[in-house]
Structure formats: C-alpha cells, structure tokens
A and B are shown apart, each in its own frame.
Chain A
Amino acid sequence: KAGVTQTPRYLIKTRGQQVTLSCSPISGHRSVSWYQQTPGQGLQFLFEYFSETQRNKGNFPGRFSGRQFSNSRSEMNVSTLELGDSALYLCASSHRQGNTGELFFGEGSRLTVL
C-alpha cells in the first residue's frame, strides 16, 4: 500500500511569511505526528493528531499549529517564519492511538527560510 506522502518536498520562504505543509498518512492509519529535524537538535516532536483531535503537543511556540481532517490527512502551519525554522519537517503515521507503536515516516518537507 502507498506510504506516507508529504507535500511539498522542498520550499523556500522569507522571514515573516507563513507556510502550510501537508501529510497524507497510510490508508487506515488514524494517528499523524509531526517532527522537526535539524542538525543541531535532531528530531523534535511537534504534535500528534488522532481522529481530528490534537492529542499531544511538544514545546514549540504558538506559531506552529496543525490540524487533521476527517480522512486523516493532516496539515501543519508555521506563521511569521524565522530563520531558525529552517528544517526538515517529517510526518509520521500509525494505526495506534498514542506514540507507543511503530511510526511510518514520509520523506519530509525541507523548508528553507531566508
């Protein structure tokens, strides 16, 4: 079956702009998690959605937000972009509620903020 699909794969924005990233999970998976990956900090948990509800949130400012739709697709939004937001944003899906099982990752959306 198809894997986790993230769009766009690459994007360049300038400071102050906003960005929306999309994630389509594996069919049947209802949990979607988002991570930020940077060389210095590694993988940092942003948030998790299950059945359209945010179940868990990491330590990121309110500029980072997300949502999940009834078909389990998820979007995350970053407003008022800062240079430090440049990163690879990874989406992961699973069929289990809560992050206690195997995660299936997409290839990521690489955001560059100039």
Chain B
Amino acid sequence: GNSVTQMEGPVTLSEEAFLTINCTYTATGYPSLFWYVQYPGEGLQLLLKATKADDKGSNKGFEATYRKETTSFHLEKGSVQVSDSAVYFCALSDRENDKIIFGKGTRLHILP
C-alpha cells in the first residue's frame, strides 16, 4: 500500500544552520506531496506542496522538490531560525484510497 517514511528525530541544529529532513514515499500512480508543520500546542498547517514530478514547493524559506526517480520529497531550508522549532510531517495524497497519508513526523529543535 501507499506509505511515507521520514527521518526520525529529534533533529537539533544551531540557528542559521542548513536543514534537510528526508522523506521518501511508496505510491501507485502520481500522488501529490505535502509538508505540514505543527508548532507547539497547535494543529498541523500546510507548509508547502507539489502536485507533479519535478515541481518545487516553497514557503517561508523552506522548499522541497518532487523527485519521482528517487520517490523523495526532502524538505530543505538554508538558514533555520529558533521559530522553526516544530514537528514536520511529510504526506501524500492516496488517490486509490482517497485519503492523505502522513509520515510519523520529525521533531526539529533549533538552538539560539
């Protein structure tokens, strides 16, 4: 079945460091891919998305490219801030079962 695998956390970085959170997926067909972020005490919110191969989603300095050949959608940011501390979820649209499947989440800590 369709699934999402993302790197386990927590990931701890210093402010202004480069961030990569790996995400790979298994899916039939051509799913849309998403990154959601959950700040402490809040629900999830969409960070960025890509709907087809080679699309790049970007928002708030974060970006991710839909790589069909490697079935990946890694999240990157060039210079993280303390305010980026949150849990990040990679997700895909499971068109076969008509639902969105989430990875287990990666907790990110940014130290000042």
Task: Please report A residues at the B interface, Cβ cutoff 8 Å.
Answer: 4, 33, 35, 41-43, 45, 48, 55-56, 58, 90, 92, 98-108
Q: In the complex, what distance in Å separates the CA atom of A18 from the CA atom of B95?
A: 33
Between A and B, 29 residue pairs with Cβ closer than 8 Å are A4-B43, A33-B99, A35-B102, A41-B104, A42-B104, A42-B105, A43-B44, A43-B89, A43-B102, A43-B105, A45-B99, A45-B100, A48-B98, A55-B98, A56-B98, A56-B99, A92-B43, A98-B98, A98-B99, A99-B93, A99-B94, A99-B98, A99-B100, A100-B32, A102-B46, A104-B45, A105-B44, A106-B43, A108-B43
List, in ascending order, chain A residues with CB within 8 A of B46's CB.
102-104
List the 5 shortest-distance A-B pairs measured between CB atoms, nearest first. A105-B43, A42-B104, A43-B102, A99-B99, A99-B100
**Cβ of B74 under 8 Å from chain A:** no
List, in ascending order, chain B residues with CB within 8 A of A58's CB.
99
**Cβ of B28 under 8 Å from chain A:** no
State the majority secondary structure of interface residues on B.
strand
**Cβ of B61 under 8 Å from chain A:** no
Q: A45-B101, A48-B98, A56-B97 are in contact. List 19 more A-B contacts (CB 8 A).
A: A35-B102, A42-B102, A42-B104, A56-B98, A56-B99, A90-B44, A98-B99, A99-B93, A99-B94, A100-B98, A100-B100, A101-B93, A103-B36, A103-B44, A104-B46, A105-B45, A106-B43, A107-B41, A108-B43
Interface size class of B (residues with CB under 8 A): 20 to 34
Contact residues, B76-112 vs A (CB, 8 A): 89, 93-95, 97-105
